[in-house]
């Protein structure tokens, strides 16, 4: 009985550990995607604009960008804003593609487009590669 309890506890610990890791990764992904969007739309990504678009305070955005820089995903230049490294750009593109697949799946199963866009914003970060591949296969079979 104790061994079964230890196994169940280990499974629970692992599940919650994975969820915390995914949340931490989701933050990086959201910021890289927002920075890329700003660069595409207005040609620059200033901390002030990042904070406003993310709905956070300036210090919160500064802290997140500092983390992106530590992770090798972004760099900043004095008086020039924030830019993505190749790794940061790849992350933004990957998240954008995942988002599109999740939205397409949700719409395919009857979710209204506006709700699908909102829901995908969270799901895109947590869906596994295996599940995403199943989504893509389902969508391909419907075409």
pLDDT given for residue 58 in this prediction: 95
Q: Which part of the chain is CATH 1.10.10.10? A: 2-85
Mean pLDDT of 11-22: 68
Name the residue with higher pLDDT: 4 or 103.
Answer: 103
What six digits make up the tokens of 86?
């190749």
pLDDT in tens, 60-76: 999 999 999 999 999 99
CATH code assigned to 90-142: 1.10.60.10
CA 142 centroid distance within chain: 27
| Beta carbons within 8 Å of 34's beta carbon, 6+ residues apart | 45, 50, 53, 54
pLDDT in tens, 115-126: 999 999 889 988
Helices (H), 46-128: 47-54, 58-70, 86-108, 113-126
Q: Does domain 2-85 have CATH number 1.10.10.10?
A: yes
Name the residue with higher pLDDT: 30 or 8.
Answer: 30
Q: Which part of the chain is CATH 1.10.60.10? A: 90-142
pLDDT given for residue 1 in this prediction: 60
């Amino acid at each position: 009985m104790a061994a079964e309890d230890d196994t169940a506890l280990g499974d629970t610990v692992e599940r919650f550990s994975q969820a915390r890791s995914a949340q931490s990764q989701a933050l990086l992904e959201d910021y890289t995607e927002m920075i890329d969007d700003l660069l595409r739309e207005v040609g620059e990504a200033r901390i002030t604009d990042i904070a406003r678009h993310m709905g956070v305070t300036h210090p919160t955005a500064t802290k997140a960008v500092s983390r992106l820089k530590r992770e090798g995903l972004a760099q900043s230049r004095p008086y020039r804003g924030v830019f993505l490294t190749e790794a940061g750009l790849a992350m933004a593109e990957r998240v954008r593609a995942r988002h599109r697949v999740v939205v397409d799946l949700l719409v395919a199963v009857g979710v209204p487009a506006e709700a699908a866009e909102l829901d995908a914003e969270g799901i895109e970060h947590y869906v596994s590669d295996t599940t995403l591949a199943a989504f893509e296969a389902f969508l391909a079979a419907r075409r």
